[in-house]
Amino acid sequence: MKRNFVDLWDISPEEGWLILQDALNIKRGLEGEKYLEGKNIALYFTKPSTRTRVSFEVAIAQLGGRAIFLQESNLQLSRGEDIKDTARTLSRYIQGLIIRTDAHKKLEEFALYSDIPVINALTDTAHPCQILSDIFTLYETFGEDLQRVKIAYVGDGNNVCNTWLVGAGLFGLKLFVATPKGYEPSSFYYQAGEDLCKVTGGSLYLTTNPVEAVKEAHVVYTDVWVSMNQDRKEEKLEALKPYQLRAELLIHARPDVKVMHCLPARKGEEIEEEVFEAHADFIFTQAENRLHAQKALLKFLFTQR
């Protein structure tokens, strides 16, 4: 049966742990099988991308497959062809479809009408490949202690934040989220995360107080304040100012705190340049791990029976 990866809940906790373990084996060079031999996988992105596009294209090539990048303006979709007709056509040529777009429901429609696995490479609502990979980075760092680690997400309650709620639920993690009033994550994703926490023993805590979230945290995570497809509004930037990752805020975290950023970063906004540079090595390992985690994800999705 074909498997999609539209949201993190499309995999079970057991499958999630399997993917993390596989990603570790792949990174350590213990896995070299060409799971995508003879497979053509298309990437259809309507928003810019550096990490996701390149890491997926390289992952597909390293697994023996072929990536086809579809430019939006060159597809009949741009002239109004239905998503469901595009999905049904592409399903006759290719074996997988990786999509980055705006509305989450467009991606769901692709998934519904495709006979092949559809992977979410970011929507306005969710970024599951990012969070799966970030949890892999934490697994690699903390190993068996992962579920005891305090993780704080500080900033805008956006697609990345929404998906963190589900990721913490799926893997039974301890997540604190600090966002300003009016910029909270989606209550739907929060509920999905809570439901998973009941099964996995994870915990979610939402606050407007960044100091409370960061206090004694092992990991502090942030993302841009203005996401793709959003307008830059002064009012929002003003509300987010106390949530900037700066030295005075991080003083409340553990001295060995790991700072994470999914990138791209807007230094001086959600993170001070000095803080970014002090943690750059970890942040770029986080970026590197997109490749290893996505190879494990592709292996998982394309070896299903």
Query: What is the rounded distance in angstroms from the CA atom of residue 164 to the CA atom of residue 185?
Result: 10
Of 149, 206, 211, 228, the one binding ligand NVA by CB under 6 A: 228
Q: Does residue 263 bind ligand CP (CB under 6 A)?
A: yes
8 Å CB contact between 153 and 210? no
Q: Which is nearer to ligand NVA, 224 or 249 (CB)?
A: 224
Q: Which is nearer to ligand NVA, 4 or 130 (CB)?
A: 130
SS (H, E, C) 114-138: CCCCEEECCCCCCCHHHHHHHHHHH
Q: Does residue 224 bind ligand NVA (CB under 6 A)?
A: yes
Task: Note if 130 is an active site residue.
Answer: yes
The partner in contact with residue 214, picked from ligand CP, ligand NVA, none with C-beta cut-offs of 5 to 8 angstroms by kind, is none
Inter-axis angle of helices 280-302 and 128-142, nearest 10: 110
The partner in contact with residue 50, picked from ligand NVA, ligand CP, none with C-beta cut-offs of 5 to 8 angstroms by kind, is ligand CP
Of all residues in the shown chain, the one whose CB is closest to ligand NVA is 227
8 Å CB contact between 188 and 211? no
Sign of the Cα torsion 35, 37, 39, 45 reads: positive
Q: Does residue 99 bind ligand NVA (CB under 6 A)?
A: no
Q: Does residue 287 bind ligand NVA (CB under 6 A)?
A: no
User: Residue 219 contacts by C-beta under 8 Å, 6 or more apart in sequence?
Assistant: 138, 149, 150, 151, 152, 257, 258, 259, 260
Catalytic residue among 51, 261, 290, 292: 290
Instruction: List beta partners, residue 67.
Output: 41
Q: Does residue 126 bind ligand NVA (CB under 6 A)?
A: no
- For 225, counting Cβ atoms within 10 Å of its Cβ (0-12 exposed, 13-18 middle, 19+ buried), the class is buried
The partner in contact with residue 159, picked from ligand CP, ligand NVA, none with C-beta cut-offs of 5 to 8 angstroms by kind, is ligand NVA
Query: What is the rounded distance in angstroms from the CA atom of residue 175 to the CA atom of residue 246?
Result: 20
Q: Give the angle subtended at the CA of 126 by the CAs of 240 and 202, to the nearest 5°.
A: 85
Q: Does residue 262 bind ligand NVA (CB under 6 A)?
A: yes
List the structure tokens of 49: 């991308």
At its nearest, how many Å lie between ligand NVA and the CB of residue 76?
Answer: 26
Of 160, 165, 283, 298, the one binding ligand NVA by CB under 6 A: 160
Residues in contact with ligand CP, shown as a per-residue x/- string from 89 to 128 under the rule CB under 6 A: ---------------------------------x------
8 Å CB contact between 169 and 185? no
At its nearest, how many Å lie between ligand NVA and the CB of residue 113?
Answer: 25
Interacting positions 36-55 with ligand CP (CB under 6 A)? 49-52
Residues in contact with ligand NVA by the rule CB under 6 A = 122, 158-160, 223-224, 227-228, 262
Residues in contact with ligand CP by the rule CB under 6 A = 49-52, 122, 130, 262-264
Instruction: Please give the positions annotated as active site.
Output: 100, 127, 130, 223, 262, 290
